């Protein structure tokens, strides 16, 4: 499908209410305001098309960039490709829900995410931690190194309160995801969450959030969802 046709179809699906919500979360023009569920019929027609995904991502239009993540072929992308996409991810809904999600379905996911976590750049770090959340919630426990994940929990414990705001959120989610989806370190993650305690996240123009990994893990314990894995990462 031609990039111009996709852009026309996306524009036709745009809703002012969704557009306002995306902008309030950090998106900027150009943006149509397409609900993610409304993209599924177009995605079904296209399936995977990396060349088209690249064209759409390069438009700088938020909805087109999001849709690019849905139709991308993650294993056709190199580390340089992911780095380039990351450079274009100007706010967390792109870094954590487009780039990190796409990366999580590639064979190089952990290697790239590890580098981003160590980058010192807020959104790269956030995307790296988020990628692990998507990985842990989808892949079998055997695909991960327990000592490595334990070391990552220790890193969160030691640095989360001084981390940039979006990185704080992704690190907190990482602790919760290990506690819920990676059974070998459930108790370790719960203990880490207790030691971290409440994490205050400053949000520009909005009320601050208080993140509570311990409470989030306990809720999933009560629901009997420890060990939960999702079948698909991308919609």
Tens digits of per-residue pLDDT, 175-221?
999 999 999 999 999 999 999 999 999 988 889 999 999 999 999 99
For the record, the structure tokens of 137 come out as 């919630």
Task: Round to whole Å and give the CA distance between 108 and 85.
Answer: 15
Domain span at residue 234 reads 109-235
Residue 97 lies in a domain: no
For the record, the structure tokens of 48 come out as 């995977």
Residue 73 lies in a domain: no
Q: What residues are paired with 211 via a beta bridge?
A: 199
Task: Round to whole Å and give the CA distance between 189 and 166.
Answer: 20
DSSP type of residue 97: I
Residue 39 lies in a domain: no
Residue 62 lies in a domain: no
Residue 29 lies in a domain: no
Residue 130 lies in a domain: yes
Tens digits of residue pLDDT in 42-59? 999 999 999 999 999 999
Task: Round to whole Å and give the CA distance between 162 and 120.
Answer: 12
Structural domains of the chain, count: 1
Residue 156 lies in a domain: yes
For the record, the structure tokens of 200 come out as 């205050």
């Amino acid at each position: 499908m031609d990039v111009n046709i996709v852009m026309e179809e996306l524009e036709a699906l745009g809703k002012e209410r969704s557009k306002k919500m995306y902008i309030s979360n950090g998106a900027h023009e150009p943006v149509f305001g397409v609900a993610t569920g409304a993209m599924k019929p177009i995605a079904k027609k296209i399936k995977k098309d990396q060349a088209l995904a690249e064209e759409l991502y390069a438009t700088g239009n938020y909805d087109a960039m999001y849709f690019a993540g849905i139709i991308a072929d993650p294993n056709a992308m190199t580390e340089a490709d992911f780095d380039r996409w990351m450079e274009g991810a100007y706010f967390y809904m792109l870094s954590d829900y487009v780039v990190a999600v796409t990366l999580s379905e590639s064979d190089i996911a952990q290697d790239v995410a590890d580098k981003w976590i160590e980058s010192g750049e807020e959104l790269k770090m956030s995307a790296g931690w988020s990628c692990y959340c998507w990985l842990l919630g989808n892949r079998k426990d055997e695909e991960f190194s327990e000592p490595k994940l334990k070391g990552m929990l220790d890193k969160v414990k030691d640095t989360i309160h001084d981390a940039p705001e979006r990185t704080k959120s992704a690190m907190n989610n990482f602790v919760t995801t290990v506690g819920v989806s990676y059974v070998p370190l459930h108790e370790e993650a719960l203990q880490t969450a207790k030691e971290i305690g409440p994490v205050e996240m400053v949000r520009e123009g909005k009320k601050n959030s208080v993140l509570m990994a311990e409470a989030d893990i306990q809720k999933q314990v009560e629901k009997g969802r420890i060990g939960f894995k999702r079948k698909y990462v991308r919609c």
